[in-house]
Amino acid sequence: MGNPLWAPWRIEYILAPKGQSDCIFCGIPRATQQEQRDRLVVTATRRAFVMLNRYPFASGHLLVVPHAHVASLDALDPADHEALFRLVRESATRLRAALRCEGMNVGINLGTAAGAGIAEHLHVHIVPRWPGDTNFMPVLADTRVVPQALEATRDHLLGFFADLPASLVDDGVPGPAAREAP
């Protein structure tokens, strides 16, 4: 049978309740620093945030997520759209510097038919890539090798996101949380 490849962090996903009503992406603006840390948030701006994918395709797999709970690009407010893609650009630049990746995949799965695991809340994937990282493991064993614990990756990335431009962090326009307040 060969040697087992241990991935104990997967049991959390296996045992977690499925089809929960709460959106895993909502509530970041109101979350405490510890809650954000537990949810693997790397940085948050007024309109969007960056977090590690808990079930990554590669080490450093980021999700860039608008605070607005929408399923499609056309449902995003223009200011949220601009802020989201500015943060995508900043995240790709910082991820390349932090992990010295030689390429990356950037994409959005819109709708369940397109492969979105969380179709009701739009999010952008940024997956760092290196030559040879597409090896036999995913093809033959349906297994991905992630060489670093997610918490360690998050801690490493924090410094690379610490100097986001002030115009991105606070664009002077109230974010979704402020607009929803009575």
CA distance 64 to 28: 12
What are the φ/ψ torsions at residue 131 (nearest 5 degrees)?
A: -55, 135
Beta strands 103-107; 124-129: pairing state: antiparallel
Among the listed residues 61, 67, 81, 123, the single catalytic one is: 123
List residues bridging with 44 in a β-sheet. 49
Give, in order, the Cα–Cα distances in Å from 79 to each of 45, 48, 98. Answer: 13, 11, 28
91 with 50: CB under 8 angstroms?
yes
Q: Has 123 been annotated as catalytic?
A: yes
CA distance 107 to 55: 16
Please give the positions annotated as active site.
Answer: 123
